[in-house]
Amino acid sequence: MNGRAAQKAENIELVVLDIDGVMTDGTLLYGDGEMAEMKSFNIKDGLGIKLLQRYGIDIAIITGRRSSAVERRAAELGIETLVQGREDKGAALRELLDTRQLAAASVAYMGDDLPDLAALRLAGLSACPSDAATKVLESVDWIAPHSGGHGAVRALADFILGAKGHLADLYGSY
């Protein structure tokens, strides 16, 4: 476990996630006619989110695109803070911190590409999937062992819960 990142993870109260390239593999599926955009989400990431919530860690989403599929997935997971259509993710994260009166040190942000850099720099714990853009990989505190949409969020959940000392209790509950 990365020592510096693990120390930062001990203080996390809120995990903020990008969607495309983090909770999905970044592929956009379009159909002919009136068919809506489709996204594929990983069930392991969903459980990771639920586990974080079980231990009192809140989840928020900030994404540059708008999607009804994201609204549905957020609702299924009990994620109440969903910010869509915000390309300036750093400003969106700053507003979220101000609204909740949270210190940046208590927030983890996971992003995968250049529009995420400002938010990654602001967050107390910055993280990305293993297939993130090179500049993001060079800039973060922690890199998931999985790519976006393939368990990266679950790995982040396990990392944070491990740093907080919850994994033994968690595993024992199953």
Cα torsion 157, 160, 162, 168 to 10°: value is: -50
Query: How does residue 32 score in pLDDT terms, banded at 50, 70 and 90?
Result: low
pLDDT surpassing 90 at residue 34? no
* pTM listed for this prediction: 0.94
Q: For 3-166, CATH number?
A: 3.40.50.1000
Sequence ranges of the domains in the chain? 3-166
pLDDT surpassing 90 at residue 171? no
pLDDT surpassing 90 at residue 122? yes
Q: Render pLDDT for 74-110 as a digit per residue (tens, 0 to 9).
A: 999 999 999 999 999 999 999 999 999 999 999 999 9
